[in-house]
């Protein structure tokens, strides 16, 4: 196995790091303070070819791979995990089902504009009473002639209030259960019966747009059905596997940002006449942080490589999600300890890394769910 990134991947890392630091960085403080996502970044990234980087070139994307996609998410997460989440949905859950199962007309109408940054996507699965148990969603889509009538509520939807379209999961036949009764529909933001009922205020990821969506007799054409009726749950499972691998890059970004900030602060903070990095207690913290980040890095990029090879990697995807999210929490927690009282003030970004990391073991499948998946894949 080759443990080195290719020259193209190294060049891409430098390009996206420059974009993240120079274009996203200056907007972070205001976005976090106002809790308003800087939507102007989406078309700007699209023009530079930074959206949906692993999608095919024939649709205007870069046509790279999962490894490169995680490089992208790592560099964005290193600058701002909240803003990064909007890009992640655009590049995966909000569009991947259309890429894999949509008609050519759907791809031209939604996927191509999403790649260009002309349209923002969202993904509607979670509901007030259906989180980890995704099969228990209550949203329905009833066939009525050449249309479907959707009724239900979705919550915790990233890009929810800024999206131009949302891929929505709904039961078309509850009698068949999740495996044969769930379908996916594209709902445009101006569709009658669709509304954003509220934006959610959060402890962390304040710059991310997170909303609750309501569908009241929301009537969509049968042409908005993605793939086959009743096959939606299998599509969702495949998308979640890819998304969990992508979480590795996102978690690495937060962890590396916290580590870099801690190393810098430990060299500048003087106590008892010397920098705190010279004390064994701090050295050991930094050493363990570095070790865990390194282990998380290899786990993430190996799973990305497996995905690119077309190999079965549900187990590895859940391992990535479980381990990297917990590493992000441990690293940011130690970063707060190293910063001491200053870390608890809003003057230093380490408090943002700490707050943002707390979400990562919850979304995209909790740590508990990941352990269930891993055990099942191991046959135990």
Confirm whether 364 is a catalytic residue: yes
Whether residue 204 contacts residue 254, with contact meaning beta carbons closer than 8 Å, is answered with no
Tell me which DSSP letter residue 103 carries: -
Q: CA 321, CA 366: separation in Å to the nearest integer? A: 9
β-pair type (274-275, 270-271) = antiparallel
The neighbour count for residue 358, using CB atoms within 10 Å, is 16
Q: Residue 111, Cα to own-chain centre: how many angstroms? A: 18
Whether residue 299 contacts residue 324, with contact meaning beta carbons closer than 8 Å, is answered with yes
The counts of H helices and E strands in the chain are 14, 10
Q: How many residues does the chain have?
A: 380
Residues 6+ apart with CB under 8 A from 9: 67, 68, 71
For 86, the enclosing helix (H) or strand (E) is: helix 81-91
Q: CA 9, CA 6: separation in Å to the nearest integer? A: 5
Q: CA 241, CA 364: separation in Å to the nearest integer? A: 9
What DSSP string describes 270-327? EETTEEGGGSHHHHHHHHHHHHHHHHHHHHHHHHHHHHHTT---HHHHHHHHHHHHHH
Q: CA 285, CA 271: separation in Å to the nearest integer? A: 17
β-pair type (210-221, 147-158) = antiparallel
End-to-end CA, the chain: 29
Of 292, 326, 334, 364, catalytic: 364
| Residue the block writes with tokens 């910063």 | 339
Of the CA atoms within 13 Å of residue 164, those in its CB half-sphere come to 14
Which residues are known catalytic residues? Answer: 364
């Amino acid at each position: 196995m080759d443990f080195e990134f290719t020259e193209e991947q190294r060049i891409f890392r430098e390009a996206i790091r420059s974009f993240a630091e120079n274009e996203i960085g200056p907007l972070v403080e205001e976005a976090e303070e106002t809790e308003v996502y800087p939507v102007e970044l989406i078309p700007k990234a699209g023009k530079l070819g930074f959206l949906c980087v692993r999608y095919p070139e024939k649709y205007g994307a870069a046509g790279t791979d999962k490894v490169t996609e995680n490089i992208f998410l790592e560099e964005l997460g290193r600058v701002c995990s909240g803003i990064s989440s909007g890009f992640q949905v655009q590049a995966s859950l909000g569009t991947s089902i259309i890429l894999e199962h949509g008609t050519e007309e759907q791809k031209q109408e939604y996927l191509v504009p999403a790649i260009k940054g002309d349209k923002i996507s969202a993904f509607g699965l979670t509901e007030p009473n259906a989180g980890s148990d995704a099969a228990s969603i209550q949203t329905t889509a009833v066939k009525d002639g050449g249309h479907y009538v959707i009724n239900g509520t979705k919550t915790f939807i990233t890009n929810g209030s800024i999206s131009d379209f949302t891929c929505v999961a709904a039961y078309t036949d509850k009698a068949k259960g999740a495996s044969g009764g769930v379908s996916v529909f594209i709902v445009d933001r101006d569709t009658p019966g669709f509304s954003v009922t509220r934006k959610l205020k959060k402890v962390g990821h304040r710059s991310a747009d997170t909303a609750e969506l309501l569908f009241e007799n929301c009537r969509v054409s049968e042409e908005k059905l993605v793939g086959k009726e009743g096959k939606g749950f299998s599509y969702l499972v495949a998308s979640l596997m890819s998304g969990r691998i992508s979480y590795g890059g996102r978690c690495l970004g937060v962890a590396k940002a916290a580590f870099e900030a801690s190393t810098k602060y430990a060299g500048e903070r003087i106590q008892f006449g010397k920098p705190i990095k010279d004390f064994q207690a701090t050295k050991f913290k930094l050493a363990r942080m570095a070790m865990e980040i390194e282990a998380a890095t290899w786990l993430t990029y190996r799973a990305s490589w497996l995905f690119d090879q077309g190999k079965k990697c549900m187990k590895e995807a859940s391992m990535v999600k479980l381990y990297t999210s917990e590493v992000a929490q441990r690293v940011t927690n130690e970063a707060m300890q190293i910063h001491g009282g200053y870390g608890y003030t809003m003057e230093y970004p380490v408090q943002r890394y700490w707050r943002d990391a707390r979400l990562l073991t919850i979304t995209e499948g909790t740590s508990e769910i990941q352990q269930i998946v891993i055990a099942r894949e191991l046959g135990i």
